[in-house]
Amino acid sequence: MPFETEIRRRGRDRTRLQKMLLFIASQLENPMLGVWIAYDSEEEKKPDDNILGYCIGMVNLLPGFESLYIYRMYAKDKEIREEFDKILRKWGKENKIKKQTITVTKNVKAFRRKHNFSPVSVNMERRI
């Protein structure tokens, strides 16, 4: 939760926190949803609450839209982000996925430069 609050404070997501948590809870049984949490603890049965980062992704197998969509990748340091990236790449390959997608509203140039994402389309919306 602290990371989700920080993401919203920085203006990187406009989704209400409650809606995001409900979405994650509703998808936990979905084998195409992956959730990874990095925490600072040596205990496996009772980990500390010191979460260092987390990552959420979903494999989309819809023909023509096959991709691994990254919902979240947030970590306190670069090494953890790199480890999440390795995990996502491996998971995508296991599911015969060849591309990752992400939606960004800020720092588009930084995502392009730092993470090698290229803009290929524009998300558009309208009210109904």
Series of mean pLDDT values for 10-residue runs along the chain (128 residues): 66 72 84 86 61 87 90 85 92 92 77 76 68
* Residue 47 · residue 39 · CB < 8 Å: yes
Q: What is the pLDDT of residue 96?
A: 92
pTM of the full predicted structure? 0.72
Q: What is the pLDDT of residue 8?
A: 67
Domains, the chain, with CATH or none: 2-115 (3.40.630.30)
Whole-angstrom distance, CA of residue 59 vs CA of residue 51: 24
Whole-angstrom distance, CA of residue 39 vs CA of residue 47: 8
